Structure 1
């Protein structure tokens, strides 16, 4: 299991997502704590990098880093256009 840590910017972005995004976002958090490598590479040219993105809900996108040695997922940004 991985510890999920939120960047302060991500925390602010989470407070701004609409109500319908909260449940899919919570489900994503659970997934990131158990299977963080399930996301897509942030940079497709470097597919083995530890910076990833993961879609959630109908339009959401989370950007995060997997810090394997610390067993931590650091959530950088949450977007809901």
Structure 2
């Protein structure tokens, strides 16, 4: 299991998510605890990079990186288009 942490900016973005985004975001956090590499590379030309993105809900995207040897996921940005 991995520990999921939020950067201070991402924490502010999480606090500002609309009500319909809360459950999908919590589901994403739970998924990342078990399968952090399930996202897509932030830069497709570097598929083995540890900076990833993952959609959540109908309009959300999280950008995060994985620190494998510490078993940590660090979310740096959340976007919600809605």
Question: TM-score, normalized by length of structure 2?
Answer: 0.97
**What are structure 2's unaligned runs of at least 5 residues?**
none
Superimposed CA distance per residue, residues 23-47 of structure 1 (whole angstroms, 9 cap, x where no aligned partner): 0000000000000000000000000
Per-residue deviation at 1:68?
Answer: 0.1
Aligned twin of 2:8? 8
Report runs of 4+ in structure 1 exceeding 2 Å deviation: none
- Aligned partners of 1:3, 1:15: CA distance in 2, in Å? 19
**What are structure 1's unaligned runs of at least 5 residues?**
none
- Aligned partners of 1:10, 1:46: CA distance in 2, in Å? 24
Aligned twin of 2:48? 48
Aligned twin of 1:29? 29
Aligned twin of 1:17? 17
Number of equivalences: 81
